Structure 1
Amino acid sequence: MPDAASLPAALGRSFEAVLLDMDGTLVDSTPSVERSWLRWCTEHGVDPRRLAGSHGVTARNLIADLLPPAQHESAYARIVELEVGDVAGTQLLPGALELLGALRDAGVPTAIVTSSNRELARARLEVTRLPRPSVVVTADDVARGKPFPDPWLLGATRLGVASADCLVIEDAVAGLRAARAAGCGGLVAVPTTTSAEQLEAVADLVVGGLTELRLDLGDGRARVLPGPGRPGPAPRGPVSA
């Protein structure tokens, strides 16, 4: 990716806390996700093509768009069963372990904010042996998951930090829009599951991966440093989810 000589205005400051998405940002769960949802679609008579563009959306919100209300609870229980029972191939993404370790060592308040439910998040964290920060927000912790702002707001609240003072790292458009609606101060995207072009429309900066993200963690705060990346659009107000 081209070098960003200067950072977008939204990133020209330090942040008190860092909020991280999990799937597609810290861990690669794509093989498990694809196997589980394809089987779920077969069992429920859903065309898998209807799942296109749904990455980052909670299973409950997705199922609500696919099936009639009478089937929601049983269909949700089934996808949880399938995904928790199949974590084969789930692995850490490059730079995830190093990033979490650096944030911990620098004393930067950090939270994982995921669309997975509590049981699935635990299974994926355990199989990858990813260090668990003090705060993990899952789909079970909020009434409305991504693409609504509630998970990011809860993550900031549990860290005792205003959302405006949080740096978000995410890989999905739905998650980025949710973070923008939550008023999070800076949005960095990684194109692991979504094209850089799509992410640029929502994020402040797109980097090729966590290994390309350069942070200054002095004084227990996080500041994004110029480096490889693609700036997003000009600053704008919150986006409604």
Structure 2
Amino acid sequence: MEYSLNPLESPDLARPDTASREALVLPQAVLWDMDGTLVDTEPYWIAAEHELVEAHGGTWSHEQAMQMVGNALPESARVLQAAGVDLASEQIIDFLISRVIEQVRVEVPWQPGALALLAELSEHGVPCALVTMSYRALAEPVVELAPPGSFVTLVCGDDVTHGKPHPEPYLLAAERLGVDVTRCVAIEDSPTGIASARAAGAATLGVEAVVPVPVLPGLSRTPSLARLDVDGLARILAGDVIDLFQD
């Protein structure tokens, strides 16, 4: 299978025909992005980026910060080095993660509807995986503060060779869960993450956080997780394209 790594390209995924409500089948698993999707931590990352660049005598714009959303951390480190941060990649990553962890330990900013949807998936026996480009040092504290049993496994940025938009993170999550990725629903907020999930073959829901969710053939979109339930995810898996921005 050839993978498209362009966040604005849509692979031609074979989906089942739209099903009636009675025929809906639940996803084998739901694969969640973390930053911006499950928790509203993007402002924490952006504040850490500003702090670091300014400490090294540079300036950091809103536009530059938006271009970083969804990036693998090594790529973000390269961008910050180009902006004047005179540190090794590992030092930049450690600084950013430590700053975000400090904020998360004060308060986990769950996105509206996230905890309710996790609870409903648990009630229906649908396993969940966290698929994030944040490193395990940050992802584990977030999972620990989620309702017990919310996530069966984590795939983090330091677990993979190729970060998003490459499909590896989502393929690895499905492998660890022992499920068919094409029978899963991925929930993402960034064009980079959406590209990763779709390239892997997962039915994908884009949730708008700090960057717009692109309009792409076959991509479902919502302004908030609070507007989706398990039936909605089953409809997405069945081939429905749900666009709640059009309501």
Is residue 2:205 matched to residue 1:188? Answer: yes
Aligned-residue Cα RMSD (Å) equals 2.9
In 1, the alpha carbon distance for the partners of 2:77 and 2:242 equals: 39
In 2, the alpha carbon distance for the partners of 1:187 and 1:46 equals: 37
2:98 is aligned, of 60, 81, 89, to: 81
CA deviation after TM superposition for structure 1 residue 45, in Å: 4.4
In 2, the alpha carbon distance for the partners of 1:35 and 1:9 equals: 41
In 2, the alpha carbon distance for the partners of 1:192 and 1:52 equals: 11
CA deviation after TM superposition for structure 1 residue 203, in Å: 6.1
Distance 1:187 1:129, change over 3 A: closer
Is residue 2:66 matched to residue 1:52? Answer: yes
Q: Which position in structure 2 is the counterpart of 1:176?
A: 194
Q: Which position in structure 1 is the counterpart of 2:40?
A: 28
Distance 1:183 1:98, change over 3 A: same
CA deviation string 1:159-216 (max 9, x = no partner):
11122121111111110011122122x11111122224xx223761111211111332
Say whether the 8 Å CA contact 2:41–2:100 is kept in structure 1: no
State how many pairs are aligned. 217
CA deviation string 1:91-143 (max 9, x = no partner):
111111111111111111211111211111123344x5454411111112112
TM-score, normalising length: structure 1:
0.78
Pairing 1:156-175 to 2, within 5 Å after superposition: 156-175=174-193
Q: Which position in structure 2 is the counterpart of 1:42?
A: 54
**Code of the aligned partner of 2:193:** G
Distance 1:214 1:228, change over 3 A: farther
CA deviation after TM superposition for structure 1 residue 228, in Å: 6.1
Say whether the 8 Å CA contact 1:176–1:202 is kept in structure 2: no
Larger relative strand fraction: 1
Q: Which position in structure 1 is the counterpart of 2:225?
A: 210
Q: Which position in structure 2 is the counterpart of 1:72?
A: 89
Pairing 1:136-175 to 2, within 5 Å after superposition: 136-175=154-193
TM-score, normalising length: structure 2:
0.76
Distance 1:228 1:200, change over 3 A: closer
Say whether the 8 Å CA contact 2:40–2:110 is kept in structure 1: yes
Q: Structure 1: which 5+ runs fail to align?
A: 1-7, 232-241
Q: Which position in structure 2 is the counterpart of 1:235?
A: none
**Code of the aligned partner of 2:231:** D
Pairing 1:111-122 to 2, within 5 Å after superposition: 111-122=129-140
Q: Which position in structure 2 is the counterpart of 1:18?
A: 30
Say whether the 8 Å CA contact 2:120–2:230 is kept in structure 1: no
CA deviation string 1:45-84 (max 9, x = no partner):
4532333322111222211234279721222222222222
